[in-house]
Amino acid sequence: DIQMIQFPSSLSASVGDRVTITCRSTLSISTYLNWYQHIPGQAPNLLIYGASSLQGGVPSRFSGSGSGTDFTLTISSLQPEDFATYYCQQSYSIPWTFGQGTKVEIK
Amino acid sequence: QVQLVQSGAEVKKPGASVTVSCKASGYTFSGYYMHWLRQAPGQGLEWMGWINPTSGGTKNAQKFQGRVTMTRDTSINTAYMEVTRLTSDDTAVYYCARWVTGSSVDYMDVWGKGTTVTVSS
C-alpha cells in the first residue's frame, strides 16, 4: 500500500496568515493527489483534486501543487472558517490512502 | 442539489452486524461509483471499498474482504454497506462518497455526513 506522510500534524495560526501543509507519498503517484477539509460533524469537503485543480465553489485562497511524491496545500490568507483538519489522499492505486491529517487551530 | 444522506447512528454488540445506508439525490445514481470510508476515534480516514451502482460490482480493501458487503437498490437510489462480526475496532464514523473519475484524476467530490457506529458490550 502507498503510505501518505503528512506534516505538520497540527499547527496554530492567526487569521490572515499564510499556511502550508505538506504531503509525501512513499511511491510516485503522478498528480493523483487530492486534498480535503474536514470539520467535525460535517461531511469532508473536497478542496483540490489532481494535485492542483480547485474544486468548484472552493475559495481561491486554497491552492495545491506538486507531482510525483511531494505535494503541498497552501491557504494564502487564513480565514475563520478555515480552522479544520486537512487530509491529503492518493488515488493512484487501490487501496486509496490518506495522510494522518493536519489540524489547523487558532493561535 | 447533489447530496448523500446516510442512515442514523447505531449501537451494536460485539459479533453483531450493522448495515449503513446512503441515499443519493440530485444526480443520476447509476452514473457514479460509490465509495465507503470510515474514521475511527482519533484516527485518520480509511478507505473501505466501492460499488458500481450499474452492475453491482464491488471492490473491497483487502483488510475488509469477507466481512464487508456492499449492495445497492437502484430503484431508490440507495447504496448499502454491511459489516459483519463487529469488534470494538469497528467503532467509527462511516462515510459514503461519490467517485468522479476522468483523465488523470480520481476523487470523491460529494460525501455523506457520516454514520456513527459504536460497538460495545
| Residue type at position A96 | W
Report pLDDT for B65.
Answer: 87
CB atoms within 10 A of CB A51: 24
Percent of chain B with pLDDT over 70: 100
Q: Please identify which residue in the block is written with the cell numbers 462518497.
A: B97
Confidence class of residue B102 from pLDDT cuts 50, 70 and 90? confident
Element spanning B12, H or E: strand B10-12
The average pLDDT across A16-31 equals 97
Residue A92 CA to residue A27 CA, distance in Å, equals 10
**Residue A41 pLDDT > 90:** no
Residue B2 to residue B37: CA distance in whole angstroms: 19
Mean pLDDT of A43-59: 96
CA distance B28 to B105: 20
- Which SS3 state, helix, strand or coil, does residue B13 take? coil
Q: What are the tens digits of pLDDT across the range A81-103?
A: 999 999 999 999 999 999 999 99
Q: Is the pLDDT of residue B103 over 90?
A: no
- CA–CA separation, B52 vs A35, rounded Å? 24
Of A50, A98, A101, the CB nearest to B105: A50
pLDDT for the residue numbered B93: 97
pLDDT in tens, B65-97: 899 999 999 999 999 999 999 999 999 999 999
Collapse the DSSP code of B9 into the 3-class scheme (helix H, G, I; strand E, B; otherwise coil) and give the result: coil
Residues composing chain B = 121
For cell 464514523, name the residue. Answer: B93
Q: Tell me which residue in A89, A94, A98 faces B59 most closely, judged by beta carbons.
A: A94
Pairing between β-strand A70-75 and β-strand A19-25 as defined by DSSP bridges: antiparallel
CA–CA distance from B5 to each of A47, A51, B88, B113 (Å)? 21, 28, 25, 7
Interface test with B, best of A21, A46, A96, A102 (most B CBs within 10 A): A96
The runs of H, that is alpha helices, within chain B are none
Question: What contacts B42, CB < 8 A, 6 or more positions away?
Answer: none
Q: Which of B38, B47, B95, B113 to mutate to test the interface with A (most CBs of A within 10 A)?
A: B47
CA distance B58 to chain A (A): 13
Kindly state the cell numbers that stand for B101: 473519475
> Given CA atoms A89, A91, A92, A98 in this order, what sign does their dihedral have?
positive
- Residues B101 and B98: their CA atoms lie apart, in Å, by 10
State whether A98 and B45 contact (CB < 8 Å): yes
pLDDT digits (tens, 9 = 90+) for B8-57: 999 999 999 999 999 999 999 999 999 999 999 999 999 999 999 999 99
Q: DSSP 3-state assignment of B88?
A: helix
**Is the pLDDT reported for residue A106 higher than 90?**
no
- The whole-chain average pLDDT of chain A stands at 96
* Residues in A touching B109 (Cβ below 8 Å): 46, 49, 55
